[in-house]
Amino acid sequence: MRKAEQFISDTEKISTNKEHYSVMQAYGDRYMVSHQTAKKQFQNLNLARERAAYAKWKVTENLDKYLIEFESAIIRKGGKVLWADDAQIALQEIEGLVKKYNAQKIVKGKSMLSDEIGLNAYLRDKGYQVQETDLGEYIIDEAGERPYHMVMPAMHKKTAEIAYLLNEKTTTALDADAEHITADVRQTLRPVFTAADMAITGANFLIADSGLVGITENEGNIRLSLAFAKVHVVVAGIDKLIPSLADIDLFFSLLATYGTGQQLTGYNTVVGPKTSNEIDGPAEFIVLLVDNGRSNLLAQHDQRQALGCIKCGACHQVCPVFHQIGGHAYGVSTNGPIGAVTAQYLSNHDEHKHLSFASPLCGKCTDICPVKIDIHNHLTRNRRDTTQKNLIKNSEKLMWYSWKKFMLSRKNMNKGQTIKSLMIKGFFKSSWGNDRLFPTLAEKSFNQLWRERFGQ
């Protein structure tokens, strides 16, 4: 099945699931309450957002320079930098590191990129033990699913569902509440941390001028991973750069405010190669910089601003489409409004172009974005590009041509309600679905009412 057809089939099912919608709505409501409170920490929020947007724009426009600056700084400090053009090369590079350091047991911190390249499945197929250590990632890994949201990967799961899932694998009771589930997972993971040979983490920010990596988390699992593993591999997209260490306080607090509605997340770590006066921490520090389509997005003059995304997931929280269809239906790792913008550049354009059309363009995503990405207008630019590249099917073109003809006919518009309803229902038969009520058309058209009232 083509991705677009799969999308329609998946969304038709999930969008009529009232339970799912109420979970998503409740999550969104709770998020907004804490987000509104956290925002108050900024004396001038707009200025903070302008500064962050400018920093990310500067990096995007000069990506080659900042990447080299970052690599040089890491090497000067005794770390290593590897580069991967695509997912396959990234996987091979990581496998090479695993073999080189004879790492049989690997602990992982949350990383959207590792989902994007399919890292867990790849390493497990080769016989390595890979353990997710972030609670949300642990849950969805156990469920055999992909993350639902870039910050809250298991947001769609109810507590009872999680307890049922973990009951088979841990000591979790079927009626366990969130607190007990967390305690059980902590106990299960404790020996895994202490036995780990290698820690693989993502990066929230790659700091160009100092060759450091900023990682933010709420559970302390990444810090614990780095306390025992001898090798730390950071897997990050080339879009994760910020110019300077002086920017990190702004980005950490913006990410917390817009990601989880906190003033600051629980643990904010700035990490790099081990220095001679440090007595603990991994002896080896390697950063794998992954392109995997990001250069392609960079080449899109009008849409490259999307590379500035700091992956806070706020645009998802306000998006009516995301609330309705959830994260999995998008079929890509970075989903939601920003995923709809980037998917077609990060992978096959033709396969994911439909995502840009799955939006009412209400602009709520753009309004909330902490780095002021013009999300909904980028969606329209994507639509424009799809049309200009002639990627629209002939059958669809014919359908819209007929629609236009129908709508431009005064005779059709002035037909009676019953006949008009029949015609429109027939026209939208395949796309309207069976679970939505068709709107009732007015008995008379505006034109008819006008004539009746004013006689013209």
Order of strands, sheet of 198-201, starting from the edge strand that comes earlier in the sequence: 80-84, 284-290, 231-237, 198-201, 105-108, 129-132
Residue 103 contacts ligand SF4 per CB under 6 A: no
For residue 215, the surrounding DSSP H or E stretch is strand 212-217
DSSP code for 442: P
By the 8 A CB rule, do 313 and 259 touch? yes
Minimum CB separation of residue 251 from ligand SF4 in Å reads: 11
- Among residues 172 and 216, whose Cβ is nearest to ligand SF4? 216
Minimum CB separation of residue 140 from ligand SF4 in Å reads: 19
Residue 147 contacts ligand SF4 per CB under 6 A: no
By the 8 A CB rule, do 200 and 114 touch? yes
Q: Which of 310, 319, 346, 424 binds ligand SF4 (CB under 6 A)?
A: 310
Residue 338 contacts ligand SF4 per CB under 6 A: yes
Minimum CB separation of residue 348 from ligand SF4 in Å reads: 22
Angstrom distance (rounded) from CA 313 to CA 338: 9
Residue 312 contacts ligand SF4 per CB under 6 A: yes
Angstrom distance (rounded) from CA 229 to CA 212: 18
- Among residues 332 and 424, whose Cβ is nearest to ligand SF4? 332
Structure tokens at 154: 């298991």
Residue 370 contacts ligand SF4 per CB under 6 A: yes
Q: Which of 311, 323, 354, 364 binds ligand SF4 (CB under 6 A)?
A: 311
- Residue listed under structure tokens 């993502």: 202
Residue 373 contacts ligand SF4 per CB under 6 A: yes
**Segment contacting ligand SF4 by CB under 6 A, of 34-42, 168-176, 283-291, 312-320:** 312-320
Residue 318 contacts ligand SF4 per CB under 6 A: no
Angstrom distance (rounded) from CA 292 to CA 273: 25
Exposure string for 370-395, b = 16+ CB within 10 A, e = fewer: bbbbbbbbbbebbbebbeeeeeeeee
Residue 59 contacts ligand SF4 per CB under 6 A: no
* Size, binding site for ligand SF4 by CB under 6 A: 15
Residue 97 contacts ligand SF4 per CB under 6 A: no
- 246-275 positions binding ligand SF4, by CB under 6 A: 258
| Residues of this chain that bind ligand SF4 (CB under 6 A) | 258, 309-315, 338, 368-371, 373, 375
